[in-house]
Structure 1
Amino acid sequence: MILANKAALAARDLLLAGSVLAAGAFSSDAWAQESADAAATRFGARGDVLDISLSPSGNKIVFVAAGPGHTEVVNVIDFTADAAVKPVLTNTEKVVDIDSCQWASEERLLCQFSGMGGGNGSILIPFDRLIALNADGTNIRMLSQRDSPRALGINQFGGDVIALDVAGEEGMVMMTRNFIPETTTGSRLGNEKRGLGVDLVDTANGRGRVREQPDDATLRYIADEQGQVRIKVQALSDINGNLTGAYRYFFRKPDSSSWVPLEALTIDGMPVERMIPLAVDSARNVAFGFVTKSGYDAIAEVALDGTGSGKLLMARGDVDVDGLIRIGRKNRVVGASYATEKREIAYFDPALAKLAADLGKALPDQPLVNIVGASADEQKLLLIASSDTQPGMVYLFDRKARALEPLLPLRPRLEGQAMGQMKPVSYPARDGTMIPAYLTLPPGSNGKGLPAIVLPHGGPAARDEWGFDWLVQYFTAKGYAVLQPNYRGSSGYGEAWYGRNGFKAWEVAIGDVNDAGRWLVSEGIVVPDKLAVAGWSYGGYAALQSQVLDPALFKAVVAIAPVTDLGFLIADARDYTNSRLVRDYVGEGPHVASGSPRRHAEKFAAPVALFHGTRDLNVDVRHAQAMERALKEAGKSVTYREYADLQHGLDDSAARAEMLADIGRFLDEALAGG
């Protein structure tokens, strides 16, 4: 059994109260001023822990918290000092996000931020950068390759850390850097380096030493736990520079500088087409990665000795094994994960398998437990535990003392809020195929005669899973039942279920979405005139396209950042290197017209509410703008709210709260006559 230290729990509760006050002090009274729809404010608030990391000693944490609106704050807690929450870095730029922070050493942090340039009539250009700073916020240094006014192109990507600890190199990290050729007066090129390379970088001053010369075709490098670059991944392009979707994988044998193709592989004696490598264990000289087994993703290992031989580590015959579990500063491979009705983790490490079982007993109400950080010796672990009704709590576990301490709630504004329980269900599609789904009822409901929302997920190469979902829980707090179908075209259920994808085979996917609504009616869960459909991204597309198949089924439609014209998707990608991939994914033929809701506005019977951000690279804002125009021209009921400078996820607490309140009012009005 894991023994919780009660005195430590009490002390940490006081610390937690202090952290909430500190956040309140930072945000002035922005959180306190709730709108008329108080639930919209609480559920729309982004998390207080967006990312978190444990220092090498296990005595400090750094976490990224959402501030008011679009802002983020980097906070540090030192448990050996006063254990106060100390903000060390704040982002107030609307077009920039602080994505993550981790410890380069006990005193030095690495933070990655990303943003979206362009817009206002020009193409959107995503970028990211990596900086280093002291744990008190001083001595900020740019680690990414610096931009040059003589560069012959745009340096979009700032690189990634591929090894935190490099043998014999104290204070250094290994990271990728992107190089762009330069011009100088009197010669065509001043710097001929082009592509992605690897440098050993001093985080204190940003200076680096070359470990891998830049390669224009290389997309990714993988280092082992000793900091040796062992694998590189190349993305193949056509003569126009457009990505083809084909990749080549190379590896190095131990103590060799030569690259060898990772091909002609056998798993358990059987040939496989390819393995997508994810990690390397130098002690065993193997690479871990994804292979396909009987139409499902699986995890295998392959020897990096030139024989190409390997073995299967985990495979299933019902769902994809889609996650490789790694912990610690060296990214040690410890297990694999998959999702049936709930997400499961199978640990290869016996000690962690036992620990997971013990944690399951200690936290019975929070069965989703993930290790998100570890000290250098792995004796202190940072955990996040959650469930369908609990947004999540960060815990610190001391393996030696066997003490489990709560640190920070992910969404403290939702504490005390009644939540709906998420139940795995299945329903029959029109052809008899059983569609897996999740049904969440309002707290205390008997599940009959309710207003209800069918909520298809985005992607479509994605799936819904059991766990906390702020959008679902907002709807249940407003009294709606919510059904989330994993329609055919979803990922996670193997190649056959994914099929030709949810655009090429839109009639199958959208048919499954509509059948979800019909099932709610047949089961008596919903009053037929109080049935709505809502979705984000592809989910928004599905919500709109449901009207094309059966205009009478849903009485209200909510679409957030939706695809509305498949032709737009293809055209919008033409300025990017993935244009060929998008064209191949969407496909060509009659389905482009028949599968575009914008082109069938005259069929709509239900009122529509649209929401979109203007810096959305995934789905350009013109999709929603054109949908609004088409519906208005067809004489249909439509409302549209646009968010300046926000991206696909609308990562702004004020915007999300406003959107939820708008949706709540829209649904109340649209379904009032039922």
Structure 2
Amino acid sequence: MKNAKTIILFTFALFTCHSLYAEEIPLEAFSNLPKYQQVSISQTGKRIAYVENYQAPQKLSVLTTFNLENQKRKLLLQSDNVEVKINWFEWANDDVLLVSAKYETKQRLQRYYQTRLFSIDVSAKEPKTKYLLKPSSGFNQQDFVSQFQDNVIDFLPDDKDHILMAVDRDVHAMPSVFRVNINTGRKKRVERAKMSIRDWTTDQQHVVRVGYAYDYDSGDTTYYHRFGKKDDFEALFEFNTFEDKPTHVLGFGLDPNILYYSAYRGDYRAIYKLSLDTKQSELVHAYDDKDVSGGLIYSRKTRDVIGVYDRYALYGRHYFDESAYKLNRGLEKIFEGSQAYVTDMSSDEKQYIALIEADYKAPIYYFGDRNKKILQPILEKYPMLYEVPLSHHERVTYEARDGVKIEGYLSLPLTGEAPYPTVLHPHGGPGARDVDGFDPWVSYMTNRGYAVFRPNFRGSTGYGYEFAQAQMGRWGLEMQDDLSDAALWLVEGGIADPDKMCIFGASYGGYAAMMASVKTPDLFTCAVSFAGVSDLKQLRKVQRRFLGGSVVADNQIGKKSKDLKSRSPLHGVEKIKIPLLIMHGSEDIIVRVNQSRVFVDELEDQNKDFKYVEFENGDHYLSIQENRTAFFEELDSFLAEHLGTPKP
């Protein structure tokens, strides 16, 4: 890969090497980490940066830049994704890349992540990383060290040498704002920590204007605002996170008196703009039956707000001016039947990166130049899946036992006929949701001949406040019944073979899979849990050790010991009748590996049919390639054994 032309020719070669019929695709096509990720373009469109995941000679993630003018690339950082991971990166100017790294840390018995920020001058012959915000001389090691040191609140596009960062260097968990030189690391405090403010927001003139204050003990939240640097802060929005419908500041318009925020219009989240001088609000974007879930879209050229991200809108964006759709509409004509997302643009909006994908098409990054009228494929996320037929995802609705309408995504294999061997695949979170678009996990299962259904059960986001709040203290209850009702709906509709139906999930989805084997022991043929929760009492205990964790655990998980026990799969193992596959990473700090270990011990004690796989150094996200490969191999073998192996 010596130059841009080489990249393009290489990509086109891949386009023609696959045959267009439903064949069983090699497992590594799905299990490999994306070949390329997080493609970003610099301000002038001169360079792009991206993470490339190598399989040989070593399995590494490498942060790389490519100069579109001189056709040269540079390898900046590499990670094996074990102790240090590349978290995110952003162009500070056309030559300097800011890079956030995520480290795993252990203090006493607690494991947690911390982040650090580095700058890299990619124009240098041999680029070097510079650690920003080093501890000052005479730093007392007995004092706290900021856990998160990568919170950039303003990239200061008119100042190529500085950024504004919010870091708790003065008071623990209360960040001050610093003006940081990205070349030298020198800093100057511009706003001191105060009033339990946990984060800050600047306006488009780069003045610190809004502070987000949160009480970790009560959940009380206040947004403070001021007009100018010398003015006092006054309360703008106040609510309790667990008792009230929340309001969230999104950002400022180019006019420093216009503030955009999200709030609930009845039961559904909407976007408003507030005139700060008159305190008058105006509705910007809303639906009558669903949430507007995204943030603001800014023009790179004017720096004003031009729309909001919205997965229900055309191209996933709601623009205020119809003319802003011009580029997306042009891409739509070229890539008919695919979804075209402009993921990054140069400052003048002439050069851009577009991601083209569909349910049935693996994503490809394109580079576009509107001046030169160029649009070229540059990087494929899943090279082995290009030109391979994959399944569509159909959005469907079913009715739960109490009449609540539940939406989900049904993906059918390209071969075979109904009723299919089926996988019910609940998402994690549970405060998340499934969507359409390319999904390597779903594509793998449908390629193997299984139907896949992903229900957005109660507790999922995007369907209103009450629907999302239904998760609070209700794990294993109505949320679990929604999954059971989904399985029954699939069988009654003739889609799923009742004798060949498995439930598979990760994180909360892993809990749901284990709970299904306990609560509905005759409904599924098998169950698969990755990084699942088996003991709610232990989950609550661990959560309460962290700052602000007590009030979150009490509200989301519950308080009463007897109730937590009744909703924990660990305490219902005797009811299990089906085989289980339990998998977990040994270094998972989101859901501790002990959650699977104690469950497996109980399975063994009661002589149940199970297999347990623990991944060395494994995290919550299967970031290490060896673990991801092993995971897919175990899943593939288990599903084939219990659901059969339908052939193309």
Q: 2:353 aligns with which of 349, 369, 382?
A: 382
- Contact kept, 8 Å, 1:159 with 1:178, in 2: the verdict is no
- Structure 2 Cα separation of the partners of residues 99 and 372 of structure 1: 18
1:653 to 617, 621, 625: 625
Q: 2:179 aligns with which of 200, 211, 219?
A: 200
Matching of residue 669 in structure 1 with residue 641 in structure 2: yes
CA positional deviation for 1:327: 4.3
Alignment partners' CA distance in 2, 1:505 and 1:668: 30
Alpha carbons of structure 1 residues 474 and 318: separation in structure 2 relative to 1, 3 Å: same
Query: Structure 2 matches for 1:142-291, cutoff 5 A?
Result: 142-146=131-135, 148-165=139-156, 167=158, 169-179=159-169, 195-215=174-194, 217-238=196-217, 244-254=218-228, 256-263=230-237, 275-283=247-255, 285-291=257-263
5+ long unaligned stretches in structure 2: 14-23
Moved more, 507-516 or 88-97: 88-97
CA RMSD in angstroms comes to 2.7
Q: 1:673 to 1:482 in 2, by over 3 A?
A: closer
Distance in 2, matches of 1:145 and 1:124, equals 22
Q: Does 2:36 correspond to 1:49?
A: yes
Q: Please, which of 367, 378, 396 is the counterpart of residue 367 of structure 2?
A: 396
Shift in alpha-carbon separation, 1:283–1:627, aligned structure 2, 3 A: same
Q: For residue 16 of structure 2, what is the aligned residue in structure 1?
A: none
Could you tell me whether the CA contact under 8 Å between 2:412 and 2:452 is conserved in 1? yes
1:570 paired to 2:540: yes
CA shift, 1:14, in A, is 3.5
Q: Is the 8 A contact 1:388 1:422 kept in 2?
A: yes
- Look up the equivalent residue of 2:176 and give its one-letter code: G
- Which residue in the other structure is 1:405 paired with? 376
Pairwise CA distance, 1:557 = 0.3
Q: Counterparts of 1:264 and 1:673 in 2: how far apart (Å)?
A: 56
Secondary structure of the structure 2 residue equivalent to 1:39: coil
Deviation at 1:547, TM superposition (A): 1.9
Q: Partner residue of 2:305?
A: 333
Paired residue for 1:372, among 338, 343, 353?
Answer: 343
1 CA distance for matches of 2:35 and 2:228? 43
Is 1:15 aligned to 2:7, yes or no? yes
Contact 2:252 2:258 in 1 (8 A): yes
Shift of 1:535: 0.4
1:94 pairs, out of 60, 82, 85, with 82
Partner of 2:64: 75
Question: Distance in 1 between the 2:245 and 2:513 partners?
Answer: 37
5 Å matches for 1:226-625?
Answer: 226-238=205-217, 244-254=218-228, 256-263=230-237, 275-283=247-255, 285-305=257-277, 307-327=278-298, 332-340=304-312, 344-367=316-339, 369-446=340-417, 448-501=418-471, 503-504=473-474, 506-580=476-550, 581-589=552-560, 590-625=562-597
Change (3 A) 1:150 1:431: closer
Q: Using a 3 Å threshold, how does the CA distance of structure 1 residues 564 and 621 change in structure 2: closer, same or farther? A: same
Q: Give the letter for the 2:149 counterpart.
A: G
Does the 8 Å contact 2:180/2:188 carry over to 1?
Answer: yes
1:633 has 2:624 as partner? no
1:339/1:395 Cα in 2 relative to 1: closer, same or farther (>3 Å)?
same
> Taking structure 2 as the reference length, what is the TM-score of the superposition?
0.89
Q: CA deviation at 1:299?
A: 0.9
In structure 1, runs of 5+ residues without a counterpart are 1-10, 22-36, 182-192, 239-243, 266-271
| Residue correspondences, number | 621
1:12–1:405 CA contact under 8 A, matched in 2: no
CA distance in 2 between partners of 1:579 and 1:43 (Å): 36
**Structure 1 residues 16 and 634: alpha-carbon distance in aligned structure 2, compared to 1, 3 A threshold:** farther
Stretch of structure 1 that moved more, 486-495 or 254-263: 254-263
Contact 1:489 1:500 in 2 (8 A): yes
Check whether the contact 2:93–2:160 (CA below 8 A) recurs between aligned residues: no
Q: Does the residue aligned with 1:205 lie in a helix, a strand or coil?
A: coil
Look up the equivalent residue of 1:113 and give its one-letter code.
A
Matched residue SS, 1:506: coil
Q: What SS does the aligned partner of 1:263 have? A: strand
- Structure 2 matches for 1:122-133, cutoff 5 A? 122-133=109-120
Specify the code of the residue in structure 2 equivalent to 1:142: Y
Q: CA separation in 2, counterparts of 1:261 and 1:341?
A: 33
Bigger mean CA deviation after superposition, 308-317 or 147-156: 147-156
Aligned residues of 2:262 and 2:272 also touching (Cα < 8 A): yes
* TM-fit CA distance, 1:465: 0.4
Q: Is the 8 A contact 1:372 1:383 kept in 2?
A: yes
Task: Tell me which residue corresponds to 2:19.
Answer: none
| CA–CA separation in structure 2 for the residues paired with 1:224 and 1:393 | 35
Cα deviations across residues 438-458 of structure 1 (Å, max 9, x unaligned)? 111112444x13211000111
SS at match of 2:310: strand
* C-alpha contact (below 8 Å) 2:473/2:555 kept by paired residues: no
Q: For the residues of structure 1 that align with 2:27 and 2:463, how far apart are their CA atoms? A: 33
> Which amino acid in 2 is paired with 1:179?
R
Partners of 2:160 and 2:281 in 1: how far apart? 35
In 2, Cα distance between the equivalents of 1:444 and 1:592? 43
2:98 matched residue in structure 1: 110
User: 1:264/1:479 Cα in 2 relative to 1: closer, same or farther (>3 Å)?
Assistant: closer
DSSP-derived class of the 1:392 partner: strand
CA contact (8 A) 2:422 2:451 kept: yes
Deviation (angstroms), 1:341: 10
Q: Distance in 2 between matches of 1:623 and 1:332?
A: 47
Query: Would you say the 8 A contact 2:145–2:169 is kept in 1?
Result: no
- Residue range with higher mean Cα deviation, 107-116 or 382-391: 382-391
